[in-house]
Structure 1
C-alpha cells in the first residue's frame, strides 16, 4: 500500500530534490566550460586529455549558486595574446626605425636573422605542446617581422631602387614565403601511423575537403599579399591602361584558381573576394577602353580583354563546386562576350544600330541550350541573353512612351489643324529620339524570341504575354518611325485595335474563358484606342470619324459574350466622347451638349438590362458604371445653367427609375427619388423660390406616404421609422424659418399643422407625430408669446425674476418625489405608444 505523505512533508521533499538538481546542474556547467576550453586549446599531438590532466570536479554545496562568469578562459587568453603580439610588433617597428642605426652591418644581420627565425620557428614548438592560440600569435609576429626585414633590406641594400618596383618584388617574395611557411608548418606536425594528421578535425575531414592547416594565418595573408605584385610592377614601369587592365584580369584568374581549389575556408573566401574585386575592376576598365574607342582597331584591345574576362569566368563556371556559382560565372561570361563584341560594333556601325547589334549577340547566346555544357552554365548564358534583351527593350521605352503619351498635349489645343504627318501629331511638343529608326526592329526581335520560347513551352503564359506586348509596341511605333501621312497613321492605329480585338477573341475561344493572352490583347486594344482618339484631336473631321468608328467597333465586339464586360464600357466611353465632340462641332453650349451626353446612360441602361437577362453579371456592373460616369459628365456640363441642370437631373432620374424596375436593382429606386427631388429643388432655385416649405413639403408628403404603406404591410414598424423623417423634414426647417420671418402668416399655419399632427398622433396613439407635433406647437406658442413675455419682464422690477426663479425651485424641491413620479408616468405613457 502506498503511503502518501502530508502536503507539508511532500513540499519539503520536493524542495530538497530541486536543490540537488540545481547543484548537479552547476557541476555539469563547470565541467562543460572546462571541456570547451580544452577543445579550443588542444594541439595536433593530443586528441583527448588524460585522466591525470583533468581537474578535480568538486561537488557544489546544496543550495549554492554557481558563480556567474563574464568572460571565458579562451577569450581572456586570446585578448592577452593579441595585446602581447601588438606590443612586440610595436617594439620591433620602433627598433627598426630608431635603434637600427646604432648597430653595424653584422649586428643588424644577426639581430634580424635571430629574431625572425626565432619568431617563425617557435609556432611549431608551441603547436607540439598544444598551445595553438599562442602559436598563432607568435606566427603573426614573425610575419610582421618579415615585412620589417623587407623594409630594412631596402634601406640598406636597395636604397637606390624604385619604391614601387621593390614593393612589387618584396610583396611577391613575402607572399611565396608565407605560403611556404604555412605549408612547412603543416608538414612538420607529427603524423599518425596511418599517415594522416593526428589533429581531430583532420581525422574528421571528409573526402574532397581540405583539413584546416596547422597555422591558420599564413595562407590567407599570402593570398592577400599576392593581389598587389603585378599591379605594383605595372605601376612601376608606367604601363598603359590596357596593361593595367590585363594585370587585373590575370590577378583575378589566379584568385579564381585559389577560390576553386579545395583549400581551407578562409583561403577560399579571400580568393573569392579577390576574384570579385579584381575581376570587377578589370571588366569595368576593359569595357571603358572598348566602348570609348572611336575606331574598330582601337576597340579591339579592349574587346580582347573582355574576351579574356569571359574565358576566366567560363573556366570558373566549368570547375565551380556549386551550381549557383557556375550560373553566376556563366552569366558574367555571357555579358562580357556581348560587351566586347558590342564595343567593336559600336565603333564600326552607326550609333543607332549599336543596340540592335548587341541584341543580335545576346540572342546568339541562346544557342548555348543546344550545347553539351553543364546545365548551370547553360542557364547562366541564357540568363545573360535575357539581360541583354531586357536592356535592349528598356532602350526603346522612351520612344514607346512618347508615342502613347505625346498626343495628350492635343487636349489643350483640339482641332488645331492637320499635321504634316503622324510623327508631327504625336511628337509635336516632345523631342524626337535620334535612335528611333532601329527601335521597331529591336522590339520585333525580342517579341520573336519570346514567341519561339512560348511555342517550345518555356514559361508559356509569361512568354506569350511578353511576345504579344512587344509585338504590339513594335507595330504602334512603326507608323511614327516611318513618318506616315496623318490619315494613314490613324488607319494604322485603327487596324491595331481591330487586330488586338481579334486576337483577344481567338485566345478566348482557344481557352474557353478569359485567359492571360486574351486579357492582355483587350488591354492593348483599349490603350491603342485611347491613343488613337487623342491623335485624332488634331482635326475636327478626324475626331468625329475616329470616335464614331471606335464606338461602332467596340459595340460590335460587345456582341461576343466573353468580351462584353470590357468592350461595352469602351464603346460607351467613346460614344460619350463622340457626343461631346458632336456638340462642340455643332456649336452647342456645354449645358446643351449635356443633353446629347444623356443618350449614353440611356443606352447603358438598356445594354445592362440585356446583359442581366443573359446572366452576365460582370458585364452588367461595368456597363452601369460607364453609364453612371457619362451621367456625371452630363451633370458637370450642365451645372452652369440651373434650368438645364434640372432637366438633366430629371432625365437621369427617369433612367435610374427604369433601372430600378429590374428585380435585382430595386434599390436604385432610392437614387431615382433623390434625383427627382434634386431636379425639383434645382427648378425651384431657378425660379428664385425662397420659401423652405416649397422644398420640404414634397419630400414630407412622399416620405409620409411611404411610411404609411410600410406600416400597413408591417404594423410592428415604429412610428419614428415610418413617419419621423417625413415630419421632421418639414417641421424643423419651418421652425427655423419662423424665428427669422417678419411676416405673421407662417406661425399660425405652422401651428395649425402642428396641432393637426398632434391630434392625429393622439388619436392613432403614435409616438412620433405626438412628440414632434406637440413640440412644434409649443415652440410656435412660445414664439407668439415671446413679445408679451419680453414686455412683462421689462415692466417687472429687477428683483422679481430671481425671486420667481427661487420660488419655482422651492416648489420643485418640495414636490421632487411627486415630479419624478409624474415624469415616470409620462415616459411610460409615451412608451405605450407606437
Structure 2
C-alpha cells in the first residue's frame, strides 16, 4: 500500500521542493546571463558628441549695442551738421532741415512703439532729445547771440526739462485695466523723464551764476534743487526717475550742506550768521522730511542722522560768533543735547535712532576736542622724573607744562564738556544692555574732568595737588564700597596716582608725604582689586628710595631699605593663596629685589650681602609646597653672593667659585636618587661634577705649577673609583676622562722631548706598527668594546 502523509505534512514537503526548484532556476539563469555576456563581442563606446558652439552674447545685448551705437553716431552727425555745415545754408534751409529732423526723431518713437519696437524707439527718442539741445544752441547762435550765456542756459534748461517731461508723459502709457486680460499692455518710453529731471538740476544753479549772486544765494539754489529732487524721489514711482532724483538729492544736498556749514563757520556778523543758520535749517528740514517718508529703515536712520547734524550746526553757529572761542564746542554740545531730547518723542523709530546717532557723534567730537588738555595734565608731570626736588611751581598749570609742553588753547571749558557728556551718558542711557558700559564711560569722563580741572582753572600748585589727591581718595572709596570688585573703575585711580606721584617730585617733603599716603591708600583696598597690592608695593618701593635719598644714603645702602618690599611681598603672597593677586604681588616683589641688586652694584661687599638676603627671601618662599621652584633661584642667589664675596677677598682660585655650586648640586642629586632610585646618574651628578671638574681641567692645562694638576688628578681618581664602586656611569666617565686628560697634560713635556730626541723616521714607523697591531687584533677589540658597553649599560 502507498503511504500518504497528512495534508499539512504534504503541503510542507511541496513548499520545500518548490523553493529548491526556484533557487536552482535562479542559479541557472545567472549562469546563462554570464555566458551570454562572455560570448558577446565587445561594443565600442559611442563617440562623444561634437562641441556645440554657443554665442558669446545674447541677441538683446547685440540689439542694444547696435541701437546705442547708431543713436550716438546720429547724434554726432547732427552736432557736426550744426557746427560745421550750418553756415553753408540759408536761414530758411537751416531751420527747415534741423526742425524737420528734430520732429522726425521725436515723432518716430510713436510708430515704433505701436509696432512694439521699444528699444529702437528709445534710441530714436534719445536722438530727438539731443537734437532739441542742438536746436536751442542754434537758436542762441542765430537769433539771440548777444544774450547772457548763463542766463540763456538757465532758461533753456528749464524749457527743455518741461518739454522733455511733457514728451515723456505724452508717450507714457498705463498698464491694462483689471479684467481686460486680452488687451496687450501699451509700451512706454523710459528715457525722456529721467533726462528731463537731469536737465532740471541746472536752472536755479545757472540762474544764480548768471546773476552773479553771492555764496548764500548759490547755496540756497543748491539746497532748493536738492529739495525738489527729494520730493520727486519720494513721490514718483518710476525707478529710473527715482535714481536720478536720489543722485541729485544726495549730491547737490551734500554740496549745499557743506557750503552752508562753511558759511556758518566763517560768518562774522549777525546777518551772515542768520542766513547761514536758515540755510542749514532748511537742509535739515529736507533731510528730516525725507527720513519721515523713506521706507528703508537703515537709509532713513542715516538721513535722519544727517538732519540732526545739520540742525546742530545751524543752532550752534548762532552763538558762536558772539561768544569767546573756548565756548564754541560747548555751544554745539548743548545743541546736540537738545537734539537728543527729541529721542523721547513719538517720532518714528528710524528718525529717533538717527537723531540719537547725530547727537552721539557731536558728543564724541566734543570729547576728542577735550582730550589734548587731559593728555597734557596726565603726561606732563612725568617729565619731572628727571627734575627731582628742584622746587615747587606756583600754579597747577605750570606744574604740568614745566618742560615746555604748551597748554592747548581754548581748553578752559574742557572740564565742562567732559562733565556734560558724562551726565548725558548717565541719564540718557537706560537700557539694561548698555547701562554698565555707559556707567563706565561716565565715570571715566568725570575722572578726566577732575584731572584737567586744576590746570584749566590755573589754581595754585598745592590746591591742585590736594584736589587730585581727593579725587583718588574718592575713587578708591567708591571701589571699596562696591558690592563686587570693579577693576575697570580702579584704573582711573591708579593712573591719577601715578600723575600725582610725579607731581610730588617737586619738593622733598611733598614726595615723602604723597608716596606714604598712596602706599597706605592702595594697601587699604588691596582686597578689592588684584592691582591694588601691586600698586601699594610699587609705591612702597618708591617711598623706600625717597626715604634713603632724604637721609643722604648712598644707593647701596638704600638697597637694604628697598629689600623690605620683597620681604613684605613674600609674606603677603603666602596669605593670598588662591587669589588672582598672588602672582602679581610676587612679581612686584621680585622686581623690587632686582632694583635692590642694581642699587648695590657700586659696592661689591654690600652687593654680596644684598644677594644673600635675596636668597634668604627666595628660600623662605620655596618652603611653601607650591613654590618649590623658588629654591633654584635661592641657590643661584647664594652662589652669586658667595662669588661676589670671594671676588671682594681677592680669591682667584677657580675651585673656590665652583665648589660652592658642586657641593649643593651633589647633595640635591643624592637626595633625588634616594627618593627615586631610577633617576639617571647623569641627571643626579652630571651637572654638579662638571661645574668643578671642567673649569679645573681648563685651568690646569694653562697652569705651569704642579700642585693643581696633582690635586685635580687625585680628585678625578677618587670620582672614578666612586663611580666604579657604585657602578655609576656619570662619575666613572667624567672622572676617568678628566684623569686621562690631566695625565696627558703632565706627560706632554716629556713626550715632546722624546719626539725631539728620536730620528724622524721613528714616528712614522711607530704609527705603522700601531696600525698593524690594531688591524691584527680588530676582532678582539670589537669584542672588548662590546663587553665594556654591556658593563656600562648595567650600571645605573
Provide TM-score, normalisation by structure 2.
Answer: 0.91
**Partner residue of 1:555 out of 500, 523, 529:** 523
Residue 679 (str. 1) matches residue 653 (str. 2): no
Q: CA deviation at 1:579?
A: 0.7
Distance change >3 Å, CA 403–CA 690, structure 1 → 2: same
Secondary structure at 1:618's aligned position in 2? coil
Residue 777 (str. 1) matches residue 717 (str. 2): no
Deviations 1:40-67 (A, max 9, x none): xxxxxxxxxxxxxxxxxxxxx9633322
Deviations 1:701-728 (A, max 9, x none): 1111111111112111111111111111
**What are the within-5 Å matches in structure 2 for residues 145-544 of structure 1?**
145-187=131-173, 191=176, 194=179, 214-428=188-402, 429-454=404-429, 457=432, 459-507=434-482, 509=483, 513-514=484-485, 518-544=486-512
In 1: Cα distance, 2:210 partner to 2:415 partner: 51
Show the counterpart of 1:664: 626
Show the counterpart of 2:74: 88
Gap runs ≥5 in structure 1: 20-60, 203-212
Q: CA deviation at 1:296?
A: 2.5
Contact 1:453 1:459 in 2 (8 A): no
Deviations 1:794-834 (A, max 9, x none): 34444554454455445445554444443333322222211
Show the counterpart of 1:42: none
In 1: Cα distance, 2:88 partner to 2:547 partner: 106
Q: CA deviation at 1:93?
A: 2.1
Show the counterpart of 1:692: 654
In 1: Cα distance, 2:181 partner to 2:643 partner: 103
Show the counterpart of 1:654: 616
Deviations 1:348-383 (A, max 9, x none): 112211221221111111221232211111121122
Deviations 1:475-526 (A, max 9, x none): 222222233322222221111111101111233x1xxx33xxx323211111
Q: CA deviation at 1:86?
A: 3.0
Residue 751 (str. 1) matches residue 688 (str. 2): no
Residue 545 (str. 1) matches residue 513 (str. 2): yes
Secondary structure at 2:267's aligned position in 1? coil
Deviations 1:382-412 (A, max 9, x none): 2211112112211211111111111111111
Show the counterpart of 2:591: 629
In 2: Cα distance, 1:134 partner to 1:821 partner: 106
Q: CA deviation at 1:106?
A: 2.2
Aligned alpha-carbon RMSD (Å): 2.7
Contact 2:479 2:528 in 1 (8 A): no
Deviates more, 1:434-443 or 1:128-137: 128-137
Deviates more, 1:630-639 or 1:132-141: 132-141
Show the counterpart of 1:39: none
In 1: Cα distance, 2:464 partner to 2:382 partner: 16
Secondary structure at 1:416's aligned position in 2? coil
Residue 73 (str. 1) matches residue 41 (str. 2): no
Q: CA deviation at 1:198?
A: 7.4
In 2: Cα distance, 1:469 partner to 1:316 partner: 38
Secondary structure at 1:437's aligned position in 2? coil
Q: CA deviation at 1:607?
A: 1.1
Show the counterpart of 2:699: 737
Q: CA deviation at 1:748?
A: 1.3
Which of 1 and 2 has greater Rg? 2
Deviates more, 1:102-111 or 1:666-675: 102-111
**What are the within-5 Å matches in structure 2 for residues 596-615 of structure 1?**
596-612=561-577, 615=578
Q: CA deviation at 1:127?
A: 4.1
Residue 112 (str. 1) matches residue 120 (str. 2): no
Q: CA deviation at 1:197?
A: 11
Contact 1:719 1:767 in 2 (8 A): yes
Deviations 1:514-544 (A, max 9, x none): 3xxx323211111111111111111111000
Provide TM-score, normalisation by structure 1.
Answer: 0.87
Residue 576 (str. 1) matches residue 541 (str. 2): yes
Contact 2:208 2:218 in 1 (8 A): yes
In 2: Cα distance, 1:348 partner to 1:7 partner: 111
In 1: Cα distance, 2:761 partner to 2:62 partner: 95
Contact 1:703 1:725 in 2 (8 A): yes
Secondary structure at 1:70's aligned position in 2? coil
In 1: Cα distance, 2:212 partner to 2:337 partner: 40
In 2: Cα distance, 1:112 partner to 1:439 partner: 70
In 1: Cα distance, 2:134 partner to 2:30 partner: 82
In 1: Cα distance, 2:250 partner to 2:566 partner: 65
In 2: Cα distance, 1:679 partner to 1:720 partner: 27
Show the counterpart of 2:756: 794
In 2: Cα distance, 1:15 partner to 1:800 partner: 91
In 2: Cα distance, 1:691 partner to 1:733 partner: 10
In 1: Cα distance, 2:296 partner to 2:696 partner: 87
In 2: Cα distance, 1:224 partner to 1:807 partner: 111
Deviates more, 1:177-186 or 1:778-787: 177-186
Distance change >3 Å, CA 591–CA 99, structure 1 → 2: same
Q: CA deviation at 1:169?
A: 2.1
Distance change >3 Å, CA 719–CA 198, structure 1 → 2: farther
Contact 1:454 1:461 in 2 (8 A): no
Paired residues in the alignment total 766
Secondary structure at 1:348's aligned position in 2? coil
